[in-house]
Amino acid sequence: MTQRLTPTVWWNDGQVKYIDQTRLPCEHVIASCDTVELLWEAIRTLKIRGAPALGVAAALGVVLGIRSLEPATHKEVMNDVEGLATYLGSARPTAVNLFWALARMKKAVAGLATRTVDELKEALFQEAMLIIEEDRQTCRLIGRYGEGLIADGDSILTHCNAGRLATYDYGTALGVIYSAQEAGKKISVYADETRPLLQGGRLTAWELLNSGIDVTVICDNMAADLMARGKIAKVIVGADRIAANGDTANKIGTYGLAVLARFHAIPFYIAAPSSTFDLTLADGASIPVEQRDKKEVTEFGGACIAPESVAVYNPAFDVTPHTLISIFITDRGIIHPPFAENIKEKMASSG
Ligand code: MRU
């Protein structure tokens, strides 16, 4: 049944509210944080997740944190914001949107030395609201640019969740699919379940069903078979960090899909906002990749599924080389190869 959807994470009466994504799809629970420590924990444990949503959460975390502190001067506000940014930035390392939003929050008050502390707190709040509004618009622009690439009847494979649950309210990769649906195109989606935490099976399937989109969940090891059978027209995924040359970090398993797509001559698209591009990194080798708890692999729903003492490799992300990516769909338009030149040019433009 269709569920009335709230945003993924938002501000309400002094608290940060969010859909607890660890409870989906079985339960739709709205949770709240009234301390920055609780928000940090919600990010760390993936109750709030997805690169753009992490940016929104981090900005709201600064607002939450500064309210509990008592800075008396502009300098003390700056010190507190710096401390909050360092703390929130330690929750998860890969999605650059989180650090981008924290940098925006610092910048929002850096030049306001003559303002009162209350005015500075208000400026931080307004910046967080602006980041939210920009996320709303950005995702819709990605959708609009991407929609033009989708043909009526396309069957699209996606990985993890780059939908409304990964952003404020619309999505990047799934935003393209929502836009195509709004344009009257009939799209079907295959959602990789996305081991180990099943963002595809739990979250992508849930939100697409909610939107009346034809979605089929597959285990991650079924994608090659579908491609070989000619069932996939395009692969569209999101991103957590894109280096200057186009190398792209996204959920573990994305790289494998890109290799498969190339082998089967299927277009492989990355949909991402400009805030996901990190032009300070020349290539993907220096993108920090989060390593997560081995229990995510050895346990499932509390049940043991591998020997407790076995060694586990559990990176949350992998890096897809730019040579396997067909195009980037961004809020500033489509970026074609050669990526190093075209990313630089597009990110220097205002849209
Ligand atoms: O570990 P997660 O669930 O935060 O990973 C999310 C992804 O990898 C998404 O594909 C990415 O953040 C893009 S979201 C628009």
DSSP letter string, 185-246? ---EEEEE--TTTTIIIIIIHHHHHHTT-EEEEE-GGGHHHHHHTT--SEEEE--SEEETT-
Give the start-to-end residue ranges of the domains of the chain.
9-139, 144-348
Please report which confidence band the pLDDT of residue 4 belongs to, taking 50, 70 and 90 as the band edges.
low
Nearest-CA residue for ligand 1 atom 6 is 50
Q: How far is the CA of 299 from the centre of ligand 1 (A)?
A: 21
pLDDT digits (tens, 9 = 90+) for 229-241: 999 999 999 999 9
CB of 240 within 6 A of ligand 1: the answer is yes
What is the CATH number assigned to the segment(s) 9-139? 1.20.120.420
Please report which confidence band the pLDDT of residue 349 belongs to, taking 50, 70 and 90 as the band edges.
confident
Please report which confidence band the pLDDT of residue 5 belongs to, taking 50, 70 and 90 as the band edges.
confident
Atom of ligand 1 nearest to the CA of 237: 10
CB of 96 within 6 A of ligand 1: the answer is no
Identity of residue 264: H
Active-site position among 240, 247, 278, 318: 240
240 is catalytic: yes
Question: What are the φ and ψ backbone dihedral angles of 239, each rounded to 5 degrees?
Answer: -155, 150
3-state SS of 239-251? CCEEECCCCEEEE
Q: Do residues 48 and 8 make contact, with C-beta atoms less than 8 angstroms apart?
A: yes
Percent of the chain with pLDDT over 90: 97
What is the CATH number assigned to the segment(s) 144-348? 3.40.50.10470
Atom of ligand 1 nearest to the CA of 199: 3
Task: Give the residue from 180, 94, 193 showing the smallest Cα distance to 140.
Answer: 180
Please give the model's pTM, rounded to 2 decimal places: 0.97
From 164, 235, 251, mutation site for ligand 1 pocket: most ligand atoms within 8 A of C-beta: 251
Topology alike, domains 9-139 and 144-348: no
Instruction: Provide the pLDDT for residue 151.
Output: 98
Kindly give the residue spans of alpha helices, DSSP state H, lying in the chain: 36-44, 51-68, 74-89, 96-110, 117-147, 173-182, 205-210, 223-228, 254-263, 295-298, 339-348
Q: How far is the CA of 284 from the centre of ligand 1 (A)?
A: 17
pLDDT digits (tens, 9 = 90+) for 258-296: 999 999 999 999 999 999 999 999 999 999 999 999 999
Given a cut of 90, is residue 87 above it in pLDDT? Answer: yes
Beta bridge partner(s), residue 19: 30
Instruction: Provide the pLDDT for residue 15.
Output: 98
pLDDT digits (tens, 9 = 90+) for 178-209: 999 999 999 999 999 999 999 999 999 999 99
CB of 95 within 6 A of ligand 1: the answer is yes
For range 121-146, the mean pLDDT:
98
Give the tokens for residue 250.
Answer: 């996204």
Give the C-alpha separation, 46 to 138, whole Å. Answer: 23
Atom of ligand 1 nearest to the CA of 95: 12
Given a cut of 50, is residue 1 above it in pLDDT? Answer: no
